[in-house]
Amino acid sequence: MLRSLLVFAMVIVSAPASAAPTVVWLESAVPDAKTVAKANHEANATNQVAEADLAFPAQPKSGADDEAYKRLNAAVASARSRWKDFDVEDGIARDIDQALDKIDVVRDEHDAAAIIEARALQGAAIDLGFPPSERSTGERTKAWRVQWFGTDPLNLPWVDALAIDPDHALGEDVSDRSTWPDFQAFQIEVAKLKDGHLDVSGVPAGVQLVIDGITVTTTDQKIALRPGLHYVHVSGKSGTIRGRAKIAIEPDTDAVLPMAITGADLDQAATAVMAGQSTLPVSVKAAVDGVVAENNGGPVFLAAEKDGKISVVPYTSNAVVNKIPLVTFALDADIGPELVVSPIFDDSNGQNVTSPAVSGTLGFELGISYGAILGGMDAAITPLDTVQYGNHESTSNVTTFALPQPWGGIGVYALRPVGVKPYLLVAGTYGWDGPANMAFGGRLAVGIPLKNPGSWIRVSIGGSSSPKSMWDDDLGKTIPMNVLFLRVGLAEGF
C-alpha cells in the first residue's frame, strides 16, 4: 500500500503543469484589462503575452546549464593541476575554450566569477605558452587575440575577463603568479579603452535585462559596457530566462541587442490578424511556435487591436474561438422563497400581512447584443394565507392561496449569455401580481455556466411593487402589494 502511494505521489509531482489557454497579442504590450476582457469573451484565455515574450524566446534554466558550469570548473581545475607540466599551455587554452563554448548564460555573480577565473587562466596560458610575436601574428593564436582601431593585438581571454569584472582590476588569485606582471600591465592598458554601448532602444517597455549576472535598467537607450564578450538575457515571469545572447562589445561602438522579431514584422502580423488571418511573417511564426511549445499543449490564440477594435483568431488546432452572436435566446425555469406583503389577505383587518410563499417561474430572454426583451409567468403559493374574491360573473366567492404573476420587461446584459461563460442580467418589469395588482418591478439574474455551452445554473433576485389594486374603487379602500423573491433554477440557450 505504501509503495503504491509513493508511486502515485511521484506521478503527481512529475505531471506537467496544466496547459492554459493563451492569447498572443501582436502588440508592443498586453492591452488594458478592458480590452483583454473583450478578447477573452472569444478566447477564454488565462495567459496573455505580447512583444517581449516573442522578441525574447523562452530558454529556461536547465540541468544542461549546471553541467556546462561543472565542465568549466573541471577544465579550470585540470589546468591548474597541469600548469607546471611541459608544453601544456595550448591544450589548456583549448580545453577551456571548449568548456566556455557550451555556456550561453550567466545566471548570477557566482557564474560570472567562474567565467572570469577561466578567462584569466586561459589568457595566462596563452601569455606563458607563446612568444610575443606569435601572440601578435601567429596562426595558432588567431582565435585568442583581438585588435581594434588604434590598439595593438590584445589577449582576448584577458579582455573578456576584464569586460565582465565590474572593477577592471582582477587580482593575482584569478590568474597565475608567473604571468602576473604581464596581467597587471595589461589591465592598465585595457582600462584606457573607451566603453562600448549596448543599444536597447528597440527593447519593449518593461523588459528586465540581466547582463553578466547583474540585473540592469533599460530606461536608457544605451547601456555602457566594457569592451569584450558579455552574456545577456531577459528575466521573464518568475525569473525565467528568455533570449540568451553572447554579445561582443567594441570600444566606442554600439551593438544592438538581438531580438527574435522586428517591429515591422510584428506590425505585419497584427495587420493579418485584424483581417482574420493567422498567416505570419517567418520570424513571428517562429516566436509564436516557441510560445506554443512553452504552453504544454494548451490552446493558443492570436490577437490584435486597432482603433478600438480587436480581432482574435485561433492559432493551434485546439484553439476554438467563441463566436458571439448578435441575437441570443434562452428559456429559464427556477423556484425559491418569496415574501408577499399586502392587506389583501383574509383576516388582515386592513393591515399589511407578510406572507411567506414558495414561488417559481417559467420565462424567456431574447437578447439583442447587450439588450434584452424578457417575459414569463411567475406563480406564488402562500400556504399560510388565502385571498377571497368574487368570481368573474360575481355569482360566488373564490378562495385561493395561489397568486399568478405574469410579467414582461426589458433589460441589459452586463455579461452576455454565450458559450461557457457566466452571464449577468439587470431588468425592469411590469406585470400583474394576481389577483388584483398591476406592479412595476425589477430583477437581477446571474447565470453560472455548466460544462455544456449555453447551459447555466440561474440565480435570480428581485421584486415588484404596486401602490394600489384594481379593486380599490369598488371596495373604497387602497390595497397595495409588495413582492420580494429569491430563486434558483436552470437556463438553456438556443
Nearest residue to 461 via CA among 482, 430, 433, 483: 483
Q: What is the pLDDT of residues 387-446, one digit of tens each?
A: 998 877 777 888 999 999 999 999 999 999 987 789 999 999 999 999 999 999 999 999
Q: Among 282-286, 292-296, 338-342, 361-365, name the one with the lowest average pLDDT.
A: 292-296
Q: Let me know whether 401 and 462 are in one domain.
A: yes
Q: What DSSP letter does each residue of 185-215 carry, written as one string?
A: HHHHHHHTSPPEEEE-TTSPTT--EEETTEE
Do 334 and 444 share a domain, yes or no?
yes
Instruction: Determine what percent of the chain is predicted with pLDDT higher than 70.
Output: 96
**Statement to judge: residues 333 and 291 lie in one domain:** no
470 pLDDT band (50/70/90 cuts)?
very high
Tell me, yes or no, whether 372 and 486 share the same domain.
Answer: yes
Residue 335 shares a structural domain with residue 384:
yes
Q: What secondary structure does DSSP assign to 131-179, as a single string? A: -HHHHHH-STTGGGEE--TT---EEHHHHHHHHH-TTS---GGGS-GGG
Q: What is the pLDDT of residues 195-253, one digit of tens each?
A: 999 999 888 888 899 999 999 877 788 999 999 999 999 998 777 899 999 999 999 99
Question: CATH number of the domain that 200 lies in?
Answer: 2.60.40.1120
Same domain, 245 and 387: no
Give, for 95, the enclosing helix (H) or strand (E).
helix 89-101
pLDDT digits (tens, 9 = 90+) for 231-245: 999 998 777 899 999
Strand ranges across the sheet with 222-225: 222-225, 196-199, 254-256
Residue 370 is assigned to a structural domain of this protein = yes
* pLDDT band at residue 447 under the 50/70/90 scheme: very high
pLDDT > 60? residue 3: no
* 429 inside domain: yes
pLDDT value at residue 209: 93
**The domain containing residue 281 runs over which residues?**
20-57+261-314
Burial class (CB in 10 A: 0-12, 13-18, 19+), 345: buried
Please report the sign of the dihedral spanned by the C-alpha atoms of residue 66, residue 67, residue 72, residue 76.
positive
Specify whether 403 is located in the same domain as 295. no
Query: Is residue 7 pLDDT above 60, yes or no?
Result: no
pTM confidence score: 0.64
Does 275 lie in the same domain as 235?
no
